[in-house]
Chain A
Amino acid sequence: MATKREERLFEKEMQKIRKARYEKMKAEGIENYLTPEQIRYNKNKKIIGAVWPIFRFLIIFGLGFVILYPIIFMLSTAFRPYEQMNDPSIIWLPKSFTLQNMQETFDIMSFDTTVLNTVRLNLIASVLQVITCSITGYGFARFNFKGKSILFGIVIAMILVPPQIITIPMYLQYAFFDLFGLIPLFNGGETITLINSGWTMYLPAMFANGIRAGLFILIFRQFFRGLPKELEDAAYLDGCGPFKTYIKVMVPNAKTSFLTVFLFSIVWYWNDYYVSSSFFTRNDTVALMLKNLDSELTSRLFNNQTPGIRAMIVWLESGCLLTIAPILIMYIFLQRYFIEGIERSGLVG
């Protein structure tokens, strides 16, 4: 397969040759060289080449606007004074800007502590998840053992079975946590409860069963399968054991894949509402906070009166903006890795 640079060079050269040849033919009378069909083909191609970029621009611009619309709306609303929300003369640009909404939302969400809390949960769970999922993916990619297809079927099942199905049993497992009956042995017959503790996120991640772990295992497996076998054979011959080979040889080769999975893991943990709402009763994460923002607003700003239809929108949109801001900033700086990473991470194959 040609590299990108070769491709570009080839394209350039071809164009030059084509142009020169065409000029020559034109000078000598084009009918002598080409059949009418070929002439038509060239003409069509020329027309498409001129028209298509315009269409492409229109399509991309239009759809890009559709995607960016909520974010523009968010920006427009979050900094708008509350009274101007019902002003029909304002569509995008408010007459004055205010930081009051942001400030109030920040206080109500107690954003500083929540964000720190979320970041802590998020980073620990993501790191654990990436490590364990990669180990599992490597095991599935390079070793043959009995029951492999059945076990891999379980991985696929993990992707397919909606997490809502197992919420209640999981909740009971966490609420009366006994780890196969081990913990009561040390705890005088008592189980411990993990509800409201970060362990409800760390533990599954530690055992490669966190949020969308099945998908990550699949990604790693595909990636490791794509690496040349000679790499490991060389390591084995040099006396590396499989675990050492994995750490010393395979991990450095899988850097992009690791980064991609890590970024996605962070994004999904950040946006996760399901796990945190099932196993946390306090408003501990940003997503949970945002979900409950409207009830908080009702009780704090509106004295428990039901606010009007559009009354809360400025605070809600401010909350949205606050919530996505950290992840958005990360995305702006790292979007290259999101996109290129998934292209190279071997999802294909």
Chain B
Amino acid sequence: MSEIVKDIDNAVSEEVIEEVAENAQEQAEAAIEETAKPKKASKPPKQKGMKIPYERRKALYGYGFIALWLLGSIYFFMMPVIESIIYSFCDTIPAPDQGGMSLDFVGLKNYKNALTVHPTYPIALPEVLGDTLLKTPLILVFSIFIAIILNQKFKGRTVARAIFFLPVIIATGPVIDIINGNMDSAGTNGGSEQFNSLFETDLVGDLLTFLGIYGISDKLTEIINTLTSDIFNLVWNSGIQILLFLSALQTIPFSAKEAAQMEGATSWEYFWKITLPYISPMIVASLVYTIVDSFVDPENQVMKIVLGMGKNWEFGYQAAMLWLYFIIVAVALGIVIAIVNKFVYYEVG
């Protein structure tokens, strides 16, 4: 591998030198020609050796750089994707002797079944969608808040940062399942469950009752409840987002801070007028990450249903469900991004 690269490199570098020399010579010749016979239309300069112009050659190198990935993504990504789309239009019967799967084209039947016949899928779909739309802004606001705190200067900042990024290291894979007590044998008391039962209080309800407000709005109460009672999941799910916002906060130029101080901006004004515009591109990135992350989470209801389908060998049905889900998610994502993008401030330059 590296030898080939070296070979190519040597060849290329020689060519480059040659061409540079040739070009210079040609230009000189052309100049002499022009001065000698100014009235004659100058012919296009003759090229010897490599005939591909520099720009085209660079483009070819571009292909060279991505060739490995391109091959891989055809084999490991695009082909499986296409195959899975084909499955979704077929009845699949496992057949180990003919390449694993025999297909029976049935058109849109799988999609129709998923939406009309399946007992839980059509109910779970809007639920998961709503849940995500509720949780995403919470996670974003929370992680911006934490990122701003972690960006301030105080003693023990390094330790605080290390703790807040711990979920990034741990919160994937089966460890979080045990922590959440979600193992196959239901009822295993994990850390988070114990945490929730230790600190379970209906603070919001109590407060609202205390204030004499009863059932002002179920949705509002639900949002506040998610924030207060589910703080465990909130904190454990926003590691990457905090990281992204923190890195965005570091890009705010010092001159902006200085100017704001000179003008006598309060911290509140500083946040809205300087911090938020500067980190707004990252808001889009975290938004995409949060939404995708919560949709792909194997613990959400739709994913549970869909992954359970695989056990019955109904891969066509499963594929149809997944693609339906994915399309809905993609459309939702597209709409959200289109809206948010209007408020994003990109620095010129």
Contact = CB atoms under 8 A, between A and B. Distances in A.
Interface of A: 1-2, 6-7, 10, 38, 41, 44-45, 48, 53, 56, 59-60, 63-64, 66-71, 73-74, 132-133, 135-136, 138-140, 142-146, 148, 151, 154, 157-173, 175-176, 179-180, 203-204, 206-209, 213, 217, 236, 239-244, 246-247, 267-268, 270-274, 287, 290-291, 294-295, 298, 306-307, 309-310, 312-313, 316-317, 319-320, 323-324, 327-328, 331-332, 335-336, 338-339, 342-343, 345, 347-349
Contacts of B99: 172, 176
A158 B282 CA distance: 20
B175 interface: yes
Given A1-B254, A208-B72, A347 B101 contact: no
B243 A342 contact: yes
A140 B326 contact: no
B63 A339 contact: no
B285 to A, nearest CB: 8
A223 to B, nearest CB: 12
B13 A239 contact: yes
B164 A206 contact: no
A332 B170 CA distance: 13
B174 A287 contact: yes
Contact of B9 (A63, A170, A243, A271): A243
Contact of A165 (B84, B100, B251): B84
Contacts of B161: 335, 339
Given A139-B64, A144-B62, A166-B81, A239 B16 contact: yes
B62 A143 contact: yes
Range, interface on chain B: 35 or more
Given A135-B65, A243-B8, A313-B188, A68 B163 contact: yes
Most buried by B among A59, A166, A309: A166
A70 B192 contact: yes
Contacts, number: 308
B335 interface: no
A44 B330 contact: no
Contacts of A270: 173
A267 B175 CA distance: 13
A272 B84 CA distance: 22
9 contacts: A10-B258, A53-B154, A63-B231, A143-B58, A154-B77, A162-B295, A175-B100, A242-B64, A287-B173
B160 A66 contact: no
Interface in B305-349: 306-307, 310, 315, 318-319, 322-323, 326, 330, 333
